[in-house]
């Protein structure tokens, strides 16, 4: 299972020597029709301030709100635009943390404010497959919970080692749907001290948009941002503003790469059987999008008349397919995050993957063993999104909920005391609860 345990490139971290990230072994990604190795960046230099950024190791984040959003390898420290006020003179250098526990992955980011940005000083990601078997049983399995607890213990260690002042820890679709989800959340609190909040699909979509909207291409009219997760997919229709986007409409459907894969059963032995399964997946997702598609018809038509439709995706599906598009020998976040890819290329790659055997997909460096069985479901969801919002180009974001949490967390803490806002139950001081729980191990 892949993990992030990075050195902090821009801060003094004793005992954290840097290590070079090794690439996956296997055959190179085969050429794809229409592939272009040159990458495009969104206008305005959105990524210019990022310091050394490296891979997102999630199989799929696989990533609404009121009208306004308001407030394995290594991942070197980086700066992210956060829309924050400059740090007050004499204030301590406090660190903040975001934990995103999804259906497939457990992910952590720890950061410190840095002027109008924040610098990530530590990060962690592990594929835990918390939602494995959930579609059939309606419950989180014992094995899945043990895998997840092991990952969260690593997170708790990092929270203490980095002396985190405030953290927000969220759980998404798997814990929302599971009969024993609340029971598991309590067990996590008792054994690790991490207080997870099961957030709504609306809040999940809001955080994903907040974390990645800076990568959206500039242009007139509404745009679509989506997050393909492990247990659900969120679609958000937004209108760009001078700061954060205004959300016009949103939809969450219970199809993610894990839930769709398990619902549609075995892949089949022949190419025809695999293709039929893929078309069935595509049909299920398209049907679930039908009502939302009707609601956004006028916005879609209006945006098309004003220029190119703008589309941005955050998920392991889009980052993996973008890697195949570039024919990368191994995943490289620095060239994927912010990439603009022709939609036709993504469709072509999706169709090709859908007819390959799982062993053939495992041999592709850009997919690997952990994604091989799930990537086809992600492709089916992506194609359904491209049908709903037929943009000629797709923006790719290797960022989302964690970054959204950090931005809102740091900003709310700075502004809260001046406006009399109390710290809510979703923003917790990381102190004795984690230390006491970890001391009992």
DSSP state of 224: E
Note the pTM of the prediction, 2 decimals.
0.77
Contact 113, 410 (CB under 8 A): yes
CA–CA dist 144, 284 (Å, integer): 26
Q: Tell me where in the chain the CATH 3.30.420.150 domain(s) lie.
A: 205-397
From the options 3.90.1150.10, 3.30.420.40, 3.40.190.10, 1.20.140.10, give the CATH code of 79-203+402-439.
3.30.420.40
DSSP state of 108: E
pLDDT recorded at residue 435:
64
pLDDT recorded at residue 320:
95
Which tokens hold the place of 410?
Answer: 């740091």
Q: Whose CA is closest to 313, among 436, 412, 217?
A: 217
pLDDT recorded at residue 416:
56
Contact 182, 285 (CB under 8 A): no
pLDDT recorded at residue 258:
95
CA–CA dist 441, 430 (Å, integer): 18
pLDDT recorded at residue 371:
87
Which stretch of DSSP H or E encloses residue 310? strand 310-314
Q: Tell me where in the chain the CATH 3.30.420.40 domain(s) lie.
A: 79-203+402-439
CATH fold, domain 205-397, is Nucleotidyltransferase; domain 5 (3.30.420)
Contact 106, 152 (CB under 8 A): yes
Averages of pLDDT over each 10 residues, the chain, 441 residues: 32 33 44 42 35 34 31 40 38 80 95 84 94 94 98 95 91 96 96 95 94 91 95 95 90 96 94 97 98 96 84 95 95 94 97 96 88 96 98 96 91 58 46 61 62
DSSP state of 22: P
What is the DSSP code string of 271-334? HHHHHHHHHHHHHHHHHHHHHHHHHTHHHHHHHHHHSSPEEEEESHHHHHHHHHHHT-SS--HH
Contact 322, 345 (CB under 8 A): no
């Amino acid at each position: 299972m892949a993990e992030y345990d990075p050195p902090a490139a821009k801060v003094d971290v004793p005992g954290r020597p840097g290590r070079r990230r090794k690439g996956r072994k296997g055959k190179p990604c085969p050429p794809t029709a229409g592939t272009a190795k040159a990458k495009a960046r969104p206008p305005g230099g959105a990524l210019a301030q990022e310091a050394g950024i490296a891979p997102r190791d999630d199989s799929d984040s696989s990533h609404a709100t009121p009208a306004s959003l308001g407030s394995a390898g290594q991942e070197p420290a980086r700066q992210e635009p956060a829309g924050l006020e400059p740090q007050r003179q004499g204030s301590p250098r406090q660190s903040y943390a975001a934990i995103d526990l999804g259906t497939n992955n457990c992910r952590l980011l720890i950061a410190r404010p840095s002027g109008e940005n924040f610098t990530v000083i530590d990060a962690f990601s592990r594929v835990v497959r918390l939602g494995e078997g959930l579609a059939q049983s309606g419950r989180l399995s014992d094995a899945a919970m043990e895998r997840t607890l092991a990952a969260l213990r690593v997170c708790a260690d990092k929270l203490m080692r980095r002396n985190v002042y405030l953290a927000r820890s969220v759980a998404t679709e798997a814990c929302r749907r599971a009969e024993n989800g609340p029971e598991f959340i309590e067990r996590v609190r008792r054994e690790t001290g991490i207080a997870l909040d099961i957030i709504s699909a609306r809040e999940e979509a809001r955080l994903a948009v907040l974390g990645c909207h800076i990568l959206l291409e500039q242009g007139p009219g509404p745009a679509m941002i989506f997050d393909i997760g492990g247990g659900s997919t969120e679609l958000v229709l937004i209108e760009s503003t001078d700061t954060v986007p205004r959300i016009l409409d949103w939809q969450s459907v219970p199809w993610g790469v894990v839930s769709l894969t398990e619902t549609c059963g075995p892949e089949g032995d022949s190419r025809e059987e695999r293709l039929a399964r893929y078309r069935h997946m595509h049909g299920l997702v398209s049907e679930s999008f039908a009502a939302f598609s009707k609601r956004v018809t006028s916005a879609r038509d209006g945006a098309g008349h004003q220029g190119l439709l703008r589309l941005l995706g955050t998920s392991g599906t889009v980052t993996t397919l973008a890697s195949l598009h570039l024919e990368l020998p191994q995943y490289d976040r620095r060239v994927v995050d912010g990439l603009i890819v022709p939609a036709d290329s993504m469709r072509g790659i999706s169709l090709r993957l859908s007819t390959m055997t799982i062993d053939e997909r495992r041999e592709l460096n850009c997919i690997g063993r952990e994604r091989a069985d799930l990537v086809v479901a992600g492709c089916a969801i992506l194609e359904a999104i491209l049908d709903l919002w037929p943009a000629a180009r797709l923006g790719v974001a290797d960022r989302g909920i964690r970054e959204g949490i950090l931005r809102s967390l740091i900003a709310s803490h700075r502004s809260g005391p001046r406006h009399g806002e109390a710290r809510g139950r979703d923003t917790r001081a990381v102190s004795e609860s984690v230390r006491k729980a970890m001391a009992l191990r």
